[in-house]
């Protein structure tokens, strides 16, 4: 399991679909969005921690759009991933 701590956007927006790089802790490093999506879809677990709250990171695949990551808390999508610090 990793905790995503920072995000980098593509310069075209600041929505979850615009994330291109991620930084994490628990084996500190960073990676591109494609590799993180692949890792999660192959059983990897990623979370975002904001204050006392932890949010699960999941992959979203919608017709006509590239896959992206979102966060889920209590069964609801949240914007936690886009609220993370930039790097």
Q: What is the pLDDT of residue 27?
A: 73
pLDDT in tens, the chain (87 residues): 999 999 999 999 999 999 999 999 987 789 999 999 999 999 999 999 988 899 999 999 999 999 999 999 999 999 999 999 999
Helix (H, G, I), strand (E, B) or coil at 16: helix
Pairing of strands 68-73, 76-78: antiparallel
What total of structural domains would you count in the chain? 1
Q: What is the pLDDT of residue 26?
A: 81
Q: What is the pLDDT of residue 7?
A: 98
Closest CA to 17 of 26, 77, 47: 77
Q: What is the pLDDT of residue 4?
A: 97
pTM: 0.91
Closest CA to 50 of 12, 82, 87, 9: 82
In 1-87, where does DSSP find H-type helix?
Answer: 33-41
Q: Which domain holds residue 41?
A: 2-83
């Amino acid at each position: 399991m990793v905790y995503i701590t920072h995000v980098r956007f593509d310069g075209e927006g600041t929505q979850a679909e615009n994330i291109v790089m991620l930084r994490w802790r628990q084996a500190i490093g960073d990676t591109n969005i494609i590799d993180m999506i692949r890792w999660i879809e192959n059983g990897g677990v990623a979370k975002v921690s904001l204050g006392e709250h932890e949010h699960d990171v999941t992959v979203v695949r919608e017709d006509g759009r590239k896959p992206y990551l979102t966060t889920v808390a209590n069964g609801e999508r949240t914007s936690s991933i886009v609220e993370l610090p930039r790097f």
